[in-house]
Chain A
Amino acid sequence: MKTDVLIIGAGGAGLMAAIAAKEEGVDVLVLTKEYPTRSQTCMAQGGMNAALGNVAEDSVEDHIQNTLKSAHGEADEESIRFMCSEAINAVEYLDSIGVCFSRTGDGKIAQRRLGGASAPRACYAQDYTGLKILHTLYDRANALGIEFVNDTFLLEVLKDEDGNACGAKVLDIRSGELKTYIAKTVILATGGYSRIYDKYSTNSTASSGDGIAAALRAGAKLKDMEFVQFHPTGLKNSSILISESARGEGGYLLNSKGERFTDELAPRDQVSRAIDEQIKKGEDIFLDIRHLGESFIDEGLPQERKLAKLYENVDPVHDLIPIKPVAHYTMGGIAVDNRSQTNVERLYACGECANHNVHGANRLGGNSLLEIVVFGREAGRNAATKAKEVASLSVPAHTECFLEKEFSNTVDFYKYKEKIGNLLYNKVGIVRKKSELKDALEELEMIKSLLPQMGWSDTSAVYNTNKQEFLEFRNIVEVSEVVIQSALGRDESCGAHYMEAQS
């Protein structure tokens, strides 16, 4: 199977890249592990930043400064300038393809203030901003006749003898066959890696860092992998996200004694640390929105009420909601230049799997949807332009196939998946210590050495999710290793990477 631009991943970034590449007049093929529209993008609620100044005075410069500040000096100013300047175009584009942004009384796109912003800057579509952007991009991709291959799991990025990316080796989940796709350029848009924290993540089960691990194996550089953003209010048992808007609307955080212990509206990393400190003292932590009243909760926070009832058996109108901070967004990823190109020739990346140097050590709320649109488009355009320069398709060099190795399947990988999650949450989590990071690395290396003793017990070729989850486990192990190594490589605290002084 051959194409000009091969895109892996059909979330917001992948779809935007596909649209941009197709509009450049090249052939585009999109591979997705599930179906388009089932990605993490659908879970984004808050909004997408653009300094439109529709409800209060705002400027692109302020957006840039807020983003720089939040990044703790770890981002690239030029990239941030580019993203923030393009934001207005990006929102106009989305509006023009039919995204149902919420509106002001006079017909302008409504905006609200999210944490760390000096003005109401986030354009939103009720509480479904990501969902509506994602689905509208999908409709646009359909209008352009873009082809998708669903249920396709990325195994390896393929390179030719000269080291150029030239396609992908994948597992067709439905048939169990291994397939090779050949392309002139390849774009990875496979999402973040929060699920390495297993049950301590708000993310979709799919966010296992598959593209990042495959890029690493293909020789691509990763950057800032230690920066993992924890969200203060995941539900205690399930880690399902309770939106920041619950605190934005006046919700309190309480400990077991019923005391408030922090400023609920401080940045996410600070609030998460305050909660973590309480938990380590033996306190249980709760979100209290009872005082907001039933009618307000039903009108403004209906999803939160539903999820709390469903997953914690509490009704927030009358009860406290048990919460804990959990992994939510990963700032690190595949290093790319300002053309979305990785250090591997003809390999591009965009979205949460990529690191465009715009979030640094802490992402500002409302910048992730912006990033996928702005840099998704850049990746698509640049990969298409490059594909036009490439005269002919290359032949992939031989790549070792993981699936053909020997696996004795005497050790249950599901147990270790959970162990890695616990290990990372406890030792590579909100507050870190050098000694614990070293312990974590040691333990992870031990788990890695057990891989040949693991495997899959389901022998069916057809839709073998047991085998697929083992492949995801392998990626989780490889990405976790880099996260711990990166954390060990940074002694000082910086944004989401917080080091406790050793006594």
Chain B
Amino acid sequence: MKITVKRDSAFEIYELEDGAYTLLEALNKIKRELDNTLSFSSGCRSSVCGSCAMRVNEKEVLACSYKVQEGDLIEPLNNMPVIRDLVVDMDKSYEMNVKAKAWIKTINSEAVLDHEAEKINEVQSDCILCGSCYSSCPVYAVNGEFLGPFSLTRVWKYVSDKRENDAAEKIDTIQTNGIWDCTLCNNCTVVCPQNISSKADIEKLRVRSSMFGYSDPNFGSFGGGFDGGFGFDGSPSF
């Protein structure tokens, strides 16, 4: 079978034995036997470390959980600087967790977590930070300051945690370049290998924000008055 890999210089075609094996196994074979210079990242081989996220036929996958097929086109993740071949620089998306203050601020030691409470953020805490969601996000593509899917999911994880005594700071933090910038396109949900929906988490954060007195700034300019919401020629100004 032949697969095409997007390299720094050009698209390169590699010929491999036919068979049912993972893309990561295919890449390792190329690296060890055909071309020592091919660069990619990998780790656990069992879908929990998040290292081998890349794009196959324009969709984000983990190379270790995708079975390679004849004619596949392999590319690095989108929306992040490519360091080399399939390796991208994820520092900035990791940094979004810091910007979004994704952690418990003040612990409420009185809070009792039961089964039900456990389920509230169980899926969100399955996140492996692979970056597939950032790669698929059209908002992040045009606004590098957008906090982005996995960091907002992480914020929801902590905001929804009964042990967090002081969610206000996190809610304040995600108002700018955060929850209201998301277009709810759902790409992140489609590509997430852990079946997390950041889109749904963002919607929940919007509801929670309204409880803190925030409203959607996109609709804020719709109020009455001649200059409210529309420009002189009648076109929307938002």
Chain A residues in the interface with B (C-beta under 8 A): 34-40, 42-43, 95-98, 100, 102-107, 125-126, 128, 131-132, 135-136, 138-140, 142-143, 150, 174, 204-206, 238, 240-241, 303, 306-307, 310-311, 313, 414, 456-458, 460, 462-466
Contact = CB atoms under 8 A, between A and B. Distances in A.
Nearest to B22: A310
B31 interface: yes
Nearest to A460: B37
Interface stretch (B45-53, B178-186, B226-234): B45-53
B43 A150 contact: no
B4 interface: no
B43 A206 contact: yes
Interface residues of B, number: 59
A65 to B, nearest CB: 31
Contact of B39 (A40, A103, A131, A463): A463
A195 to B, nearest CB: 11
A463 B40 CA distance: 9
A500 to B, nearest CB: 32
B103 A34 contact: no
A103 B43 contact: no
A143 B105 CA distance: 8
A102 B87 CA distance: 35
Contact of B113 (A35, A107, A135): A107
B122 interface: yes
Where chain A touches its partner, the secondary structure class is loop
Interface string B86-105: 01011100100110011111
Contacts, number: 138
Given A240-B45, A310-B67, A96 B107 contact: yes
24 contacts: A37-B129, A38-B49, A38-B50, A43-B46, A96-B107, A98-B104, A98-B157, A100-B118, A100-B125, A104-B115, A105-B115, A106-B114, A128-B125, A128-B126, A131-B48, A131-B126, A142-B97, A143-B103, A204-B45, A460-B37, A460-B84, A462-B83, A462-B84, A463-B84
Contacts of B65: 306, 310
Contact of B46 (A36, A97, A307, A458): A307
Contact of A142 (B67, B98, B117): B98
B84 A240 contact: no
A478 to B, nearest CB: 21
Contact of A139 (B20, B25, B44, B102): B102
Contact of B103 (A42, A98, A103): A98
B37 A457 contact: yes
B32 A414 contact: yes
Contact of A43 (B22, B37, B49, B107): B49
A139 B105 CA distance: 11
Nearest to A144: B103
A204 B104 contact: no
Contacts of A464: 39
B75 interface: no
Nearest to A139: B103
Contacts of A97: 103-104, 107
Nearest to B20: A313
Contacts of B31: 465-466
A268 B115 CA distance: 32
B36 A35 contact: no
B163 interface: yes
B55 interface: no
B121 interface: yes
Contacts of A139: 97, 102-104, 154, 158
A131 B124 CA distance: 12
B128 interface: yes
Contacts of A140: 103
A125 B118 CA distance: 10
A46 to B, nearest CB: 14
A414 B91 CA distance: 30
Given A131-B126, A240-B45, A37 B50 contact: yes
B235 interface: no
Contacts of A303: 46
A107 B44 contact: no
B37 A135 contact: no
A105 B114 contact: yes
A307 B85 CA distance: 27
Contacts of B161: 98
A61 to B, nearest CB: 27
B160 to A, nearest CB: 11
B177 interface: no
Interface string B1-38: 00000000000000000001010010000011100110
Given A102-B118, A142-B103, A465-B31, A132 B125 contact: yes
A442 B154 CA distance: 52
Given A142-B97, A143-B104, 4 more contacts: A38-B51, A98-B164, A142-B98, A174-B89
B237 interface: no
Contacts of A174: 83, 89
A240 B32 CA distance: 20
B122 A100 contact: yes
A204 B87 contact: no
Nearest to A415: B32
Contacts of A414: 32-33
A136 B158 CA distance: 10
A96 B163 CA distance: 8
Contacts of A240: 45-46
Nearest to B127: A135
Contacts of B102: 139, 142
Contacts of A306: 47, 65
Minimum-distance CB pairs A-B, first 5 = A463-B84, A143-B103, A107-B112, A139-B103, A458-B37
B193 to A, nearest CB: 11
B109 interface: yes
Contacts of A128: 48, 125-126
Contact of B163 (A42, A98, A103): A98
Given A131-B128, A132-B125, A98 B36 contact: no
B41 interface: yes
A150 B92 CA distance: 12
Interface in B98-157: 98, 101-105, 107, 109, 112-115, 117-118, 121-122, 125-129, 154, 157
A389 B151 CA distance: 39
B41 A204 contact: no
B173 interface: no
B104 A103 contact: no
B48 A98 contact: no
A204 B24 CA distance: 13
Contacts of B126: 128, 131
A103 B44 contact: no
Contacts of B47: 306
